[in-house]
A and B are shown apart, each in its own frame.
Chain A
Amino acid sequence: MNAIPLRYIDLIAATLLILVAGSVSAVLKLGLGKRLAVASVRSVVQLGLIGFVLEWVFSLERWYLVVAVFASMVVNAGVAAVQRTERRFSGIWQTGLFAVTLSSVVTTFVVVEVVIGVDPWYSPRYVIPLLGMVLGNALTGLSLTLDRVMADLDEKRDQVEGRLALGATIWQACRPHVREAVRLGMVPVLNSMAVVGIVSLPGMMTGQILGGASPIEAVKYQLVVMFMIACATSLGAIAAAMLCFRFLVTTDHQLDVARLRKRG
Chain B
Amino acid sequence: MLEVLLDVRNLSLAWKVHTLEPPAQPSGASGARASAPAELPPETPPSYVFRSVNFSIHAGDRLWVSGPSGCGKTSLLRSLARLEPKAEGEVLFRGQSAHGSGVPAFRRSVVYAAQTPARYPLSVEEAFLEVMEFAHRAQAFRRELVAAWCARLQLPENVFERRLTELSGGELKRVQVLRSLLAEPSLLVLDEPTAGLDEAASQALYGLLLEWVSAGERALVIVSHEAPPPALMQAEKLPRLRRFQLKSARFEELNAGGNSLCGLAEQEAGCS
Q: For residues 20 through 68 of chain B, which have their beta carbon under 8 Å from a beta carbon of chain A?
A: none
Chain B proximity mask over A108-149: 1 for CB below 8 Å, otherwise 0: 000000000000000000000000000000000000000000
Q: A167, B108: Cβ atoms under 8 Å?
A: yes
Closest residue of A by beta carbon distance from B78: A161
Q: A258, B99: Cβ atoms under 8 Å?
A: no
Q: Given contacts A159-B118, A252-B100, are A165 and B85 in contact (CB under 8 A)?
A: no
Rounded to whole angstroms, the CA-CA distance of A166 and B184 in the bound complex is 10
Closest residue of B by beta carbon distance from A251: B100
Closest residue of B by beta carbon distance from A250: B85
A181 to chain B, nearest CB (A): 15
Residues of A within 8 A of B134 (CB): 163, 166-169, 172
Rounded to whole angstroms, the CA-CA distance of A254 and B82 in the bound complex is 8
Interface centre among B78, B86, B100, B120 (most CB of A within 10 A): B120
Residues of B within 8 A of A162 (CB): 114, 117-118, 120
Rounded to whole angstroms, the CA-CA distance of A163 and B179 in the bound complex is 10
Report if A54 contacts B (CB, 8 A): no
Rounded to whole angstroms, the CA-CA distance of A256 and B85 in the bound complex is 6
Report if A253 contacts B (CB, 8 A): yes
B86 to chain A, nearest CB (A): 7
Residues of A within 8 A of B130 (CB): 163, 166, 168
Report if B105 contacts A (CB, 8 A): yes
Residues of A within 8 A of B78 (CB): 161
For the complex of A and B, the 8 pairs showing the least CB-CB separation, nearest first, are A167-B108, A162-B118, A159-B118, A158-B118, A256-B85, A167-B134, A253-B103, A165-B112
User: Which B residues have a C-beta under 8 Å from some C-beta of A?
Assistant: 16, 78, 81-86, 98-101, 103-105, 107-108, 111-114, 116-118, 120, 130-131, 134-135, 179-180, 183
